[in-house]
């Protein structure tokens, strides 16, 4: 596969990790998150990947009203950007110390219907679909095949395009099963998530292997976290994929210097340009992904 010269750049603007307090300006209120989306779009991102947080504490959240406010703020701004809402929250399980069968502190495990309710209501262009369970840092991210079937079917019926997030090889296999059952339709869109403990390591050989394991008609993007973010901007496009940056995955512009989402996008745009390619507009991204406005 040849290098991708027309790159869809996604900015993941806040994420669901415990990063408030580790960075002086992590967006966490709906207004701040929407402003971060607008900033990243103005800097060159065609897609914004959106989590929400508790607007009082900044803790990771999935409140439907917060999603509603963020999406409304972005749409009212008239900035052209594809909205990509997470469905990853609600699958976290921490085994209890006294009884591992009972979720301990930090557990947030809800029905698959609840995890996609905001997508059904708001009908974003794209939403994530995490295919597969894994040890995720200190907890377990639980995405059983049956839960994924329910989520994929509801996303399909909404008309939103699923971005199939895969953190290891077996999750590609599970995604192929959903595709074979007709629960994911159209050209599959994959996001290869590299370097997240304890999934696939941020290794160019691993990214190439994952790429080669995708259904041949797939569109794909990939990213690395922390210090691997910018190297994997180059790696993904050189392998024929699209790219992602943002404060969800990396807090620094360079060693010791905190970044903003706009600065990370600008740096990625520069890298892509220096390698002989360009980032595409939101309208071009829609055409490449086969997305029509709801």
H/E stretch holding 41: helix 30-43
pLDDT of residue 293: 67
Alpha-carbon torsion 20, 21, 24, 29, what sign?
positive
Q: Please report where in the chains the tokens 């963020």 appear, as a residue.
A: 70
| Token pair belonging to 80 | 């052209």
Q: What's the confidence (pLDDT) of residue 18? A: 87
Task: From residue 12, give the alpha-carbon distance in Å to each of 99, 109, 162, 243, 267.
Answer: 36, 23, 16, 11, 14
Check: CB of residue 281 under 8 Å from CB of residue 289.
no
Domains and CATH numbers, the chain: 6-289 (3.20.20.70)
Give the per-residue pLDDT at 65: 98
Length of the chain: 294
The reported pLDDT for the residue numbered 294 is 57
The pLDDT of residue 137 is 76
DSSP letters spanning 86-104: ---TTEEE-B-SS-TTSB-
pTM of the model as a whole: 0.95
- Decide if 257 contacts 227 (C-beta within 8 A): no
**pLDDT < 70 stretches in the chain:** 1, 293-294
Using only the alpha carbons of the chain, give its radius of gyration: 18
Tokens of 246: 């943002």
Q: What is the pLDDT of residue 2?
A: 84
How far is residue 80's CA from residue 38's CA, in Å, rounded to a whole number? 9
Write out the two tokens for 227: 């210090």
- Are 192 and 210 in contact by the 8 Å Cβ rule? The answer is yes
């Amino acid at each position: 596969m040849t290098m991708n010269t027309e790159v869809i750049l996604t900015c993941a603007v806040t994420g669901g990790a415990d990063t408030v307090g580790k960075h002086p300006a992590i967006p966490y209120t709906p207004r701040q998150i929407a402003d971060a989306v607008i900033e990243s779009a103005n800097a060159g991102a065609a897609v914004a990947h959106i989590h929400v947080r508790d607007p009082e504490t900044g803790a990771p959240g999935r409140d439907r009203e917060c999603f509603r406010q963020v999406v409304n703020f972005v749409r009212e701004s008239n900035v052209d950007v594809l909205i990509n809402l997470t469905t990853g929250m609600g699958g976290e399980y921490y085994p209890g110390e006294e009884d591992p069968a009972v979720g301990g502190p930090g557990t947030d495990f809800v029905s698959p219907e609840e995890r996609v309710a905001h997508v059904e209501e708001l009908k974003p262009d794209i939403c994530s679909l995490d295919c597969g369970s894994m040890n995720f840092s200190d907890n377990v991210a639980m995405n059983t095949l049956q839960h994924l079937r329910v989520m994929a079917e509801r996303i399909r019926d909404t008309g939103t395009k699923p971005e199939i997030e895969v953190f290891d090889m077996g999750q590609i296999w599970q995604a192929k099963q959903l595709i074979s059952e007709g629960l994911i339709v159209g050209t599959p869109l994959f996001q290869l998530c590299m370097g997240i403990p304890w999934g696939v390591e941020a290794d160019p050989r691993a990214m190439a292997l994952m790429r080669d394991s995708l259904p041949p008609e797939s569109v794909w993007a990939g990213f690395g976290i922390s210090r691997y973010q910018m190297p994997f901007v180059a790696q993904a496009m050189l392998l024929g994929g699209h790219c992602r940056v943002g404060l969800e995955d990396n807090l620094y512009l360079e060693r010791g210097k905190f970044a903003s989402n706009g600065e990370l996008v600008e740096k990625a745009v520069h890298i892509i340009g220096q390698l002989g390619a360009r980032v595409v507009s939101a309208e071009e991204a829609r055409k490449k992904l086969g997305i029509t406005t709801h």
